[in-house]
Copies of this chain bind each other. A is one copy, B any other.
Amino acid sequence: MLEGVTVGVLGGTGAQGRGLALRWAAAGIPVVLGSRDAARAEAAAKELVDLLADFGTPDAQVTGADNAVCAARSDVVVAAVPWEGHSELLALLASELEGKVVVDCVNPIGFGKTGPFPLDVAEGSAAQQAQAVLPGSRIIGAFHNVSAVVLADMLQTEVDTDVLVVGEERADTDLVIALAEAIPGVRGLFGGRLGNAGQVEKLTANLIAINRRHKTHAGIRITGHGL
Contact surface of A with B, Cβ cutoff 8 Å: 114-118, 124, 147, 160-161, 164, 166, 189-193, 195-196, 198-203, 205-211, 213-227
Contact = CB atoms under 8 A, between A and B. Distances in A.
Contacts of A220: 220-223
Given A116-B196, A199-B198, A199-B202, A214 B210 contact: no
B210 A218 contact: no
Tell me which of A114, A161, A227 has the highest count of chain B C-beta atoms within 10 A of its own C-beta.
A227
B224 A210 contact: yes
A224 B206 contact: no
A76 B114 CA distance: 25
A224 B219 contact: yes
A211 B196 contact: no
A100 to B, nearest CB: 23
Given A199-B203, A199-B205, 6 more contacts: A118-B124, A192-B210, A198-B199, A215-B226, A218-B222, A218-B227
Contact of A198 (B192, B202, B208): B202
A191 B191 CA distance: 21
Q: Which applies to chain A's interface (DSSP): helix, strand, loop or mixed?
A: mixed
Count identical subunits in the complex.
Answer: 2
A197 B35 CA distance: 34
B199 A199 contact: yes
A42 to B, nearest CB: 34
Nearest to A202: B199
A172 to B, nearest CB: 15
A190 B213 contact: yes
Contacts of A191: 206, 209-210
Contacts of A195: 117-118
Given A114-B193, A192-B115, A193-B114, A216 B209 contact: no
